[in-house]
């Protein structure tokens, strides 16, 4: 092409223009046999080749643009469908929470009816929180910002908590819901307990959601590594007698923003993120999530694998005793009454409802609680009062939690200050610690964890 253009430039400019016009007219007629000026046939033919190359290049660009546009349209449709599902998934538990909250205002309710309302609100609140965490995690995974921790994980407690949280769904459907140990499993292993819980909840929760009758069984085993001492693999196999998956939909199973088909989304609900997120989290933990087999109308079997480390002296168990949530809650309330006795706490938060809830939680554990409505008032009270711990919200009017803590530290305040905030990302925690907070605790409040953290900071500071 460059040689043709070079030859073309070697003739007089008038001749170039005249020959180019002649050639273009001939090409437009589709006539390449037209009479050409004497001696210029080669140049004109080369010009024709150049133009053909340009036409072909533009056609390829147009085809590529069409394909790219189609992919963008598909992606936009998928995300639009995803957002519609998210809206539905958020509004469903919110409707239950608001509805049952209104019912609680009825003064004629029996104790049994009131407890049922409370249980429903709590369950839907947990569901809403799990949905938010799921959306945040898939965003962090796609951006490559997900943080994996390596902490002690109590396997038996994790299994018990999973069964407790899902127990209501299986009871309502009348499903046979079992956890079976196929080998002795270490009671404690080093891994990321938050994300393991999320993976198990997603996969087992899916099995329950798509199973209307029959059973959901979870088989657990541990295999020691033959190559590296102190390492091994936790394997969890989830088998259900649910709807199964059609072969035609298998390729979409682990795609984000999609379920096997839209009718499944409408019938069973869900964001379409669960399996995608679970697989990526498991792979980040050195394992995987796979579909071992599935048959339409018969059921499916998924397998979760996680790589983990264990200590030489760790004990192993081959079974566990299931304890219902209500029993755990009753025992916790009974045991926590004296934990924070004689502990004075300042709660700095601009939301009256948050003040009430936090005050009741800490008061039930024996603490004496006072409140400040913003950072400026919090600074004044912290410096003039005798508090063991300060719980500080971040987003507040006048003076926010960051500025209040920075000023307190500059003034020599050395008591523990815990950030109590709805900002749950790792970056926010790191920023809190840089500013001068002793620790970071994310909302919504887990009562037992908050009491434990406050007690820990008080003991360290004594």
> What is the model's pLDDT at position 140?
65
> What is the model's pLDDT at position 369?
95
Average pLDDT (392-418) is 93
pTM confidence score: 0.55
Q: How far apart are the C-alpha atoms of 418 and 443, rounded to whole Å?
A: 12
Q: How far apart are the C-alpha atoms of 397 and 378, rounded to whole Å?
A: 12
Question: Quick check: bond before 444 cis, omega within 30?
Answer: yes
Q: How far apart are the C-alpha atoms of 389 and 69, rounded to whole Å?
A: 57
> What is the model's pLDDT at position 2?
43
Give the range among 49-63, 298-312, 401-415 with minimum mean pLDDT: 49-63
> What is the model's pLDDT at position 264?
44
**Which class in CATH covers the domain with range 151-324?**
alpha beta
Model confidence band, residue 8 (pLDDT cutoffs 50, 70, 90): very low
> What is the model's pLDDT at position 6?
46
Average pLDDT (373-401) is 93
Percent of the chain with pLDDT over 90: 28
Residue where the block lists tokens 């820990």: 456
Q: Is the pLDDT of residue 232 over 70?
A: yes
> What is the model's pLDDT at position 341?
86
Q: How many other C-beta atoms are found inside a 10 Å radius of the C-beta of residue 303?
A: 19
Domain boundaries, the chain: 1-145, 151-324, 336-461
| Mean of all residue pLDDT scores within the chain | 78
pLDDT digits (tens, 9 = 90+) for 162-209: 887 787 778 878 899 999 999 999 999 999 888 898 899 889 988 998
Model confidence band, residue 329 (pLDDT cutoffs 50, 70, 90): very low
> CA 245 → CA 175, 291, 356, distances in Å?
20, 10, 48
> Which helix (DSSP H) or strand (DSSP E) does residue 236 occupy?
strand 231-240
Average pLDDT (258-279) is 59
Model confidence band, residue 410 (pLDDT cutoffs 50, 70, 90): very high
> What is the model's pLDDT at position 24?
58
pLDDT digits (tens, 9 = 90+) for 241-262: 998 888 777 777 776 555 444 4
> What is the model's pLDDT at position 237?
96
pLDDT digits (tens, 9 = 90+) for 70-104: 666 665 665 655 565 566 567 767 777 877 887 78
33 compared with 347, residue with greater pLDDT: 347
DSSP 166-215: HHHHHHHHT-EEEEEESS-EESEEEE-HHHHHHHHHHHHHHHHHT-SSSE
Q: How far apart are the C-alpha atoms of 206 and 147, rounded to whole Å?
A: 25
Instruction: Decide yes or no: CATH 3.40.50.1580 for domain 336-461.
Output: no
Residues 6 or more apart in contact with residue 257 via CB below 8 angstroms = 78, 79, 81, 82, 272, 273
> What is the model's pLDDT at position 214?
94
Average pLDDT (433-454) is 87
Model confidence band, residue 265 (pLDDT cutoffs 50, 70, 90): very low
Pick the CATH number of 1-145 from 1.10.287.130, 1.10.260.40, 3.30.300.30, 3.90.1310.10: 1.10.287.130
Q: Which two tokens stand for residue 280?
A: 């990526």
> What is the model's pLDDT at position 327?
45
| DSSP designation for 253 | T
Cross-strand bridge partners of residue 304: 236, 289
> What is the model's pLDDT at position 390?
97
Please check whether residue 261 is in contact with residue 84, taking contact to mean a CB–CB distance below 8 angstroms: no
Model confidence band, residue 415 (pLDDT cutoffs 50, 70, 90): very high
């Amino acid at each position: 092409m460059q040689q043709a253009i070079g030859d073309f430039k070697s003739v007089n400019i008038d001749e170039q223009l005249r020959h180019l016009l002649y050639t273009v007219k001939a090409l437009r007629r589709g006539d390449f046999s037209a009479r050409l000026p004497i001696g210029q046939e080669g140049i004109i033919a080369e010009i024709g080749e150049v133009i053909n190359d340009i036409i072909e290049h533009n056609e390829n660009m147009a085809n590529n643009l069409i394909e790219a546009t189609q992919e963008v349209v598909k992606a936009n449709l998928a995300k639009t469908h995803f957002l519609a599902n998210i809206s539905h998934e958020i509004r469903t538990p919110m409707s239950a929470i608001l509805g049952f909250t209104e019912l609680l205002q009825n003064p004629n309710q029996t104790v049994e009816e009131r407890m049922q309302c409370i249980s429903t609100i709590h369950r839907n609140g947990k569901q809403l929180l799990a949905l938010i965490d799921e959306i945040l995690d898939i965003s962090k995974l796609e951006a490559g910002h997900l943080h994996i921790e390596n902490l002690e994980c109590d396997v038996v407690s994790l299994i018990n908590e999973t069964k407790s949280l899902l127990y209501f769904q299986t009871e309502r459907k009348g499903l046979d819901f079992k956890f079976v140990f196929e080998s002795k499993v270490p009671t404690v292993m080093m891994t990321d307990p938050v994300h393991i819980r999320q993976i198990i909840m997603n996969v087992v929760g899916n099995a329950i959601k798509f199973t209307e009758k029959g059973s959901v069984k979870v088989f657990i085993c541990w295999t020691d590594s033959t190559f590296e001492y102190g390492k091994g693999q936790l394997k969890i196999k989830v088998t259900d007698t649910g709807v199964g998956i059609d072969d035609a939909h298998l390729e979409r199973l682990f795609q984000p923003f999609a379920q096997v088909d839209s009718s499944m989304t409408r019938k069973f609900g869900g964001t379409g993120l669960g399996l995608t997120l679970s697989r990526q989290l498991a792979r980040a933990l050195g394992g995987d999530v796979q579909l071992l087999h599935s048959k339409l109308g018969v059921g499916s079997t998924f397998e979760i694998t996680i790589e983990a480390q264990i200590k030489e002296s760790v004990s192993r168990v081959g079974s566990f005793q299931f304890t219902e949530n209500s029993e755990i809650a009753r025992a916790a309330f009974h045991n926590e009454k004296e934990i924070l006795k004689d502990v004075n706490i300042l709660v700095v938060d601009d939301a009256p409802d948050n003040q009430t809830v936090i005050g009741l939680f800490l008061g039930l554990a024996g603490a004496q609680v006072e409140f400040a409505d913003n950072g400026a008032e919090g600074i004044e009270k912290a410096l003039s009062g005798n508090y063991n711990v300060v719980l500080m919200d971040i987003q507040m009017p006048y003076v926010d939690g960051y500025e209040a803590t920075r000023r307190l530290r500059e003034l020599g305040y050395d008591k523990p200050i815990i950030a109590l905030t709805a900002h749950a990302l790792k970056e926010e925690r790191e920023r809190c610690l840089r500013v001068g907070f002793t620790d970071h605790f994310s909302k919504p409040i887990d009562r037992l964890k908050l009491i434990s953290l406050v007690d820990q900071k008080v003991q360290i500071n004594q």
